[in-house]
Chains A and B, each alone.
Chain A
């Protein structure tokens, strides 16, 4: 490895760090003993069961910590690992071998490897990936049996930059708090385990730098830039100074943004721009308000419908919508009606298998066809409207007839509530502009509604015909493209003609380079993930 080598990879988690190197080399775990003396099988099996219990307990603890921190999907990884560690057949395989006088550590590594090979050979990408999980679990049990840390990561005592071919969730979870300054891995993408963990731990990560650890790697220190996606091996003092300066700038930036957090966002010439938060559940409302949210520009209702046996009742929905509406008082709360398609299962709704769910039966298309899904949601929204400034937004609109049909059903719900003597509020109605059709037809849609909110993520994907998740199409995944900006301009112009307001509720709303352009085009509300709010308010005030 040449000195001061520059490793280019994918920026998977923002931030910069400089520190000593810790190279993590898994797979070097060798059983201490291959065999055990005759007559000791029972005692060794008892040790094996104890080791499993310890590993399962550690896994459960990690899962709990992640769950308490709100990282449900990462917690699920550890649940699955705990279950593998306790698997009956895995244990039988070990028992058979130990009875044949193989050491338990050799046995578990061998059985784990057998399952890993079975999974790896499966003709299914998801199942093949489970090979790493089994291997990881087997290693943990073997390490526990030998009374040592499988990887050395758990005994990391100096804050270091961790380099590895790849890092399993159990690896990152074992590192003592504060000891990992950054991750650099040879493999991986933005969506691999290590990237997700790094972002939730708030430490920089560069992944996919290529085969750096083949052969010897004796670097002393590494500088990592997780935003730009590169690392410098054994940086010279000049490079270190550059990184330290950037660290300082980032820390200052965070501090400087503090004072923008609670201001009412206005441009330098006095135009009022509302900076709001995108929320996925009512319990996130307080956090968003503390970050300076001036309302909710997009409240996703999908979570209420997912991972359950039956559809949520009208009352349950009402409680949720009322809670978020109340939390924001007079401030606007835009709630989007259900936007689910063939990519997610809905209890009680017969969804056909679709080749292309993002161009399929989803959003308002499905809701209009399934009144038993749509009407309870609209009734709940109208009722919640009595508690604040609630606005209803319809997703996936591609035709004027759709918004007219939706409004007709909304009117029916209002009449029903009226005749039942139920309490409900006045709510305004808007279209989520995310299909190119809605932008092109904005002039026809505008007289039908009170506002537009541009969902830039999908508008970009549909306009540029570029899958949001495809890493190879990164250059076609930004709203900063003339075709997308033109559609946003058309939407704003139509809104101006009809006297209604326009917001943006996609990634673009929080991007400093795009904010001035969006305001220039006529957007007056920007809605984003809550942590981006202070920076967006600063950018707005400088326009």
Chain B
């Protein structure tokens, strides 16, 4: 029911939305909950376990009952708090966890079975038979119990991640937060004021208090006007600060487009990381219920919320409202409603000495001991010293006192302390370094107290960051005392709810204590108290008071469970914003990418890079056909391959050679300018890290190549060595991987090709094997290296990346004219296996230099990284698995990498394992499969026969062990 003249809604802007298909009318400024309440809808949801009819209880993010689903299809969002969702034209809202409908829910039968559904019920009941759990019991329970469901479709909505920085972050924009922001803003600090509501003001929007003689909302607007006019204050509405993290970092979730019919290009939500020097927590307090029999009926609401719906939305939550509390703040609900002309059925105060005046029935020293009305409250039982009275009422406003919203202060393991006078937990200073709780969040419940505390909190923060506060007048406001007498539970026969969202009752907590789940953390897990999406915001303290009573300990001894981030549920889409699809794994393209794709080459991933697998030609039906042709092309004519993805590190400085001696096992100081050398790099523990070639361009200038996969690791390693181990050396490193496009030109006709392409031709005398230097192509100065990963006479030619595509096209056309062409990763792999060259399939992080037959590359003349550890006996002991070549010699001609090796007649079981296969390929050159692998004492076993067994794919093959260099072992071709 709307009350004329009340509320902050815009009555000139009506809007319509639907709830379970039925039209609802509201106004701009309404939430879904306020609009539903205004039209008298009490039933808004069904409870988690028992499917009990439930109505809205609160008006904030702590709402346990009124969870709804908004949107449809991929845009469907479950578990939206009706109290937080702003109403807008066309919004589609549906009830959840009810079937077939909210009004008639068949699963409400669960409620009749409630005696069987008590704490620990699942564990006790569904024990046997064990295998039924996964197949039958769990799916059944999951179907019956639950909240909203996801659509099952990919969420295509826009989400964003963002970062913000400030001097002072003020969390919450009630009286304390506004004064804190004003004080900090006037002093010139960079301030962010964040509030999870759509409108700033906090309780000042929900109360009828005056500030400085003005209505609260008017004063709020004046303050906001001043803050907005400051250049140094940023106001963030609809922003819930979700977590307090290390070093002044706070997570925050902003609802950007969720309140709009058409958010356009805006994200639905933005997840913020706010870094601040200091923070002021002015998050206010949450009212807690009282557990009395059948306290969960739709129409039973928090007293502060009933008052808030009236003052902020102009909504009377009932026609005949009863109020039940243990403290004075509840009285204000009766006063405000009565002043607005709403009938007060009764004001019940549990305190016998409560001073109450008002023109309505007042019961002091009384309790509500029962309720009636299944889908909406119809009446309550009030028990006084003289007996029980039935009172007709359709809305019961309850208040068991207030809990400071101190959740954020606990996010870094701090423990709040119990305050006997306030009957609440309070934060202690420095639970989160740099964060100070003020106002109601710190147990200061009067408006005047909150205003002053906000100023003080800001002054402390300003002082900490070395800024001088300017004087701020504290406005006049209500300064009432907060008096209460603890009342947690009213005894009775029926169930009394504590955690409304997870359906935990007083009986459940008592049962947990009786079954010795007496620690608060055990009780929580046994009963699921506080484990629902609301994290027990309005129920935890009540539950542990019940536990304290049941165990005979006090509340301080019982302690509280741990508050953890996030303060409110955060959608994964917001946390993972930007990481969907290609954002999850960005692509790195070589300069030849477009040309390779145009040539129909399938691209394969190599880290973030994409490389061509093979280049299919007319008539080639399988990848093998293309691969075989490309291998033959390189062996007989000339092939071109983009090798730009290999790491390239430019190393300069007068001590560059000495540095390389230290990071490589072999000597580089002896390398002549204009020459290239193969190098092997170890980790400090003696295991092979990487390999590659390094060219000496000048005395103090080298270019190192790393493998594609280890480029980043090697760069970090070299920087570590240079900076942390040998900082005295004059050496400078920079990655130039992306600055140079580099192509292998391999095959007997490579010289002929380059002679035609290079501006100055190719003088055979000047370019022996392992020579390097500058060379110009079409007027572009580039680099030429005579190196080979195929065993053929080959070169690698490099140009600045912007010329890469042009050079690629030129090289391909020249190669094709010579009977060659491009080759891809498959052919590259076969070519290197034929030559026994290793890759990270072999140097996989567990092999030593000796294992791959390079033990003698560890120079005895100098120290190097990994040398000491590599000298350990175990790293070259007999019995280690050593690199060998494998070739099938039995009936089965196929080899498979990943397969294991066994002696020919031994059973293929683990204890008989002799080694494994790391790389295989079909060699068209030698017309057979070839493999590389590791075999125990392999180097001494050339000529032996072993059995390859692939248990996964069910393939066995007899292999001959041989030297890993299958083709041209003398190396005549590479020098030719």
State whether these chains interact: no
Q: Measuring CB to CB, which residues of chain B are less than 8 angstroms from any residue of chain A? A: none
Q: Measuring CB to CB, which residues of chain A are less than 8 angstroms from any residue of chain B? A: none
